[in-house]
Amino acid sequence: MDADISRIVAMVWPHVHDISVSVLAAAVAALGVVIMLELRSVLKLRQIVDGNLARIFEQLDLLRFESQQLIEGQQLVESHVQAGKASLAQSIPAQAQAQAQAAATPATTGEARLLSSLAQARARRESGGPPRA
């Protein structure tokens, strides 16, 4: 009986071994395909992140540039106000003076209006005029 079982195992074992080696090879091939797909996914993700980071840094550069433009415009307006305070205070009304200062600075329409209203408020405050509602 033991001899029969040993003989059967001896005959079946090479086939079982061949099948297990084939299954193992298929598993390794499937794992390789999965790894290649993951690698492609990671590379694509990296490209997307690089593109988004480039857009973010472009936006930051634009914001920094606009901030510098606003600071330079504000300094220019302040220098015009200080320089023109003595000579233009008697000849030009405060509103015309503020409009001239806003026109002298290279700014967008919204920025020019903002700078003009700030200059008008400063002129009213300095002249002691009534506050505007």
Give the residue-averaged pLDDT of 35-52.
Answer: 96
In angstroms, the Cα distances linking 78 to 6, 57, 72 are: 104, 31, 10
89 in Cβ contact with 101 (< 8 Å): no
Is residue 46 scored above 80 in pLDDT? yes
Give the residue-averaged pLDDT of 48-58.
Answer: 92
Contacts of 116 (CB under 8 A, 6+ apart): 98, 99, 101, 102
Is residue 49 scored above 90 in pLDDT? yes
Sorting pLDDT into bands at 50, 70 and 90, what band is 87? Answer: low
CA distance 131 to 123: 11
The tally of CA atoms less than 13 A away on the side-chain side of residue 72 is 10
CA distance 95 to 124: 9
Q: Give pLDDT, residue 52.
A: 92
Give the residue-averaged pLDDT of 118-124.
Answer: 81
Query: pTM, whole model, 2 decimals?
Result: 0.41
Is residue 4 scored above 70 in pLDDT? yes
Mean pLDDT across the chain: 80
Q: Which of 77, 83, 84 is nearest to 117 (CA)?
A: 77
Is residue 116 scored above 60 in pLDDT? yes
Sorting pLDDT into bands at 50, 70 and 90, what band is 91? Answer: low
Sorting pLDDT into bands at 50, 70 and 90, what band is 95? Answer: low
Structure tokens at 118: 């700030």
CA distance 68 to 111: 13
